[in-house]
Structure 1
Amino acid sequence: MTTWTPIARFLVAVAATVSPGAQVMAGVVTAQIRTVAAAPAPNAELPLDLGFLDDSGRRVTLAGAFGGKSAVVIFADYTCRSLCGPVLEFTVNGLAKTGLTPGADYRLVVIGLDPRDGIDAARTMRAEHMDGTSPIGQAAVFLTGGDHEIRAATQAAGLRYYYDAEHDQFAHPAAVYVVDSIGHIRRVLSPLGLDGGDLRLAIVDTGHGAVGTLADRIHLLCYGYDPVKGIYTERITTMLELAALATLVVLAGGISLMVARERRSAPT
């Protein structure tokens, strides 16, 4: 699966410039920026047997967090002072515009990047960046885990990040993963310009026919996922170009036949 690393690098650079101590931190990020990416391997899948704690203190596997549904997965530093909170808000706002039903059609799963962050940090991020009483909030699961579980999940997701010990922050790509119910990573979307249409198409695409309407599936025929940009783009232009080319070929063939017939019927 192709990554949209340029966007990831841009977002990390933005994070560096808006964070406290930006001038010092920017140098660190610049030196490490090439190691940061969201690049899952083809047919990558998250290990659903990994065990975490949710923000209620209950032990749960990724399979339990998914609940047999497609999942929108975000990796976040719960004590992040730059982009993690806004990325969560962008995603929640996008999900609210999909028209899909939280809990029934999908789950929102947030996985903490820092093994030192406990459930209090997860609860704080939830409280500060989403309405926990909303349908999406009730279908959201915030997970904390140990170093082994976090590394296993991030490696499976192809998420490469860098820990800046001096500023106690993680430089990581802002990525929104859309994963099917059995853990296969199907899409990596950019939160930059993320909208309800992209999220709906991605979730429907991973739902194996169980999510969305017939109109959605027809819509997917006219749209294609662009892994470089991390968004869905219209394929209709390409389809029209191919149709126009086919029309020209048919017309040229027809004209050639007419000319050939006239030559054969012309008196010698």
Structure 2
Amino acid sequence: MRLLALAALFAMAPGGFAEARLARAELDRVALAPAPGARAPLDLPVTDVLTGETTRLGAVLGGRPALLLPVDYTCGNVCDPMIGLSGDALAKTGLDPKDRRLVLVGIDPKDDAATARERIAAIWGDRPGQPVTLVADAAGITRLTGDLGYRYAYDEASDSFAHPAAALLLTGDGRLARVLSPLALDGKDLRLALTEAGEGQVGTLSDRLALLCYGYDAAKGVYTPLIARILTVAGVATILAIAGLILVLIRVRRRQEAA
């Protein structure tokens, strides 16, 4: 059901996938490829959109591990479910809220505090533990993503970003401990990862994560890997559901004939 719901979200995304204009070569450069020892810049100036306070990323972390999600606050494709599912997984860890922080950073410098605040309010609703929602200027975004090996591309035609759909687990001192898929987070595993990050442990990082938050690939006329995978699973689930319904109807009919 969750996969079907995600597929529906993609289908209803504003503007539609067909407006995407990035070439294949541009999409191939989009990935999360952190260098050994990758670390977020703790002195990076950021603005907390909920409080309006300008501070430093290090102060936001406060020496505690955090799940960092680079997002596009005006994206209606994968960013919304990424945020929602990450929040659900963190809640299921059973950890104290101070030990399971979710930090969002906008990758679009055009998104101001009001835009980000409105979007997160719509996604999060009245659930407790609202994420720390940050915005930064263009130079700050470039520095943060560059230090973490997070590569994305801007599609001017559709005013959207092709970017890795990834959650970055940071230690309290800003080191990149693990790269996780926010669409497949499990509360138990996330609890263990957060505990390890809290102890300063750094896991094995993937060389390249290319799961994209980007809809329709106009260069090849096919869906990007994430969309294709979700639509494939959703299609299989639909076929199985139809087959199950047919079997039930056949059994009901046979019982009626026997009676």
Q: When the two structures are superposed, what TM-score results if normalisation uses the length of structure 1? A: 0.68
CA distance 1:141–1:19, change in 2 (3 Å): same
Deviation sequence 1:69-110 (CA, Å, 0-9, x none): 11110000111121111100010011011111112x132110
3-state SS in 1 of match to 2:22: helix
Does the aligned pair in 2 maintain the 1:72–1:179 contact within 8 Å?
Answer: yes
The match for 1:152 is 143
Give the structure 2 partner of residue 214 of structure 1: none
Change (3 A) 1:158 1:47: same
Is residue 34–residue 207 contact of structure 2 (8 Å, CA) maintained in 1?
Answer: no
Counterparts of residues 133-148 of structure 1 (less than 5 Å): 134=128, 136-137=129-130, 140-148=131-139
Instruction: Give matches, 1:35-114, under 5 Å.
Output: 35-55=29-49, 56-103=51-98, 105-114=99-108
Alignment-derived partner of residue 164 in structure 2: 173
2:116 aligns to what? 122
**In structure 1, what is the Cα distance between the partners aligned to 2:12 and 2:162?**
12
Alignment of 1:233-244 (within 5 A): none
Number of residue pairs matched? Answer: 200
Residues 44, 184 of structure 1: 8 Å contact kept: yes
Unaligned runs of 5+ in 1: 1-10, 211-223, 231-268
CA RMSD of aligned residues (A): 2.7
2:15 alignment partner, SS class: coil
Residue in structure 1 matched with residue 15 of structure 2 by the alignment? 20
TM-score by length of 2: 0.70
Superimposed CA distance per residue, residues 173-192 of structure 1 (whole angstroms, 9 cap, x where no aligned partner): 11001000000000010123
Give the counterpart of 2:189 among 198, 203, 212.
Answer: 198
Structure 2 Cα separation of the partners of residues 15 and 208 of structure 1 = 38
156 and 225 in structure 1: CA distance in 2 versus 1, 3 angstrom threshold: closer
Task: Tell me the alpha carbon deviations over residues 24-49 of structure 1, each in whole angstroms, 9 at most, x when there is no partner.
Answer: 41x52644221111111111000100
What is the deviation of 1:193?
1.9
Task: State the identity %.
Answer: 40
* Structure 1 residue 209: Cα displacement: 7.6
User: Which residue number in structure 2 is paired with residue 184 of structure 1?
Assistant: 175
In 2, Cα distance between the equivalents of 1:40 and 1:146?
22
Cα contact 1:190–1:229 (8 A) shared by 2: no
SS in 2 for 1:115: coil
Distance 2:100 2:16 in 1: 38
Between 1:144-153 and 1:192-201, the stretch displaced more is 192-201
Q: Shift of the alpha carbon at 1:15?
A: 6.2
Question: Which SS does the other structure have where 1:28 is aligned?
Answer: coil
Output the CA distance in 1 between the equivalents of 2:18 and 2:125: 34
Decide which structure has the larger Cα Rg and report it: 1
List alignment gaps of at least 5 residues for structure 2.
1-5, 210-259
Structure 1 counterpart of 2:56, which letter? T
Give me the whole-angstrom Cα distance separating, in 1, the residues matched to 2:208 and 2:191.
17
Q: Per-residue deviation at 1:23? A: 2.3
| Cα deviation, residue 113, structure 1 | 0.5
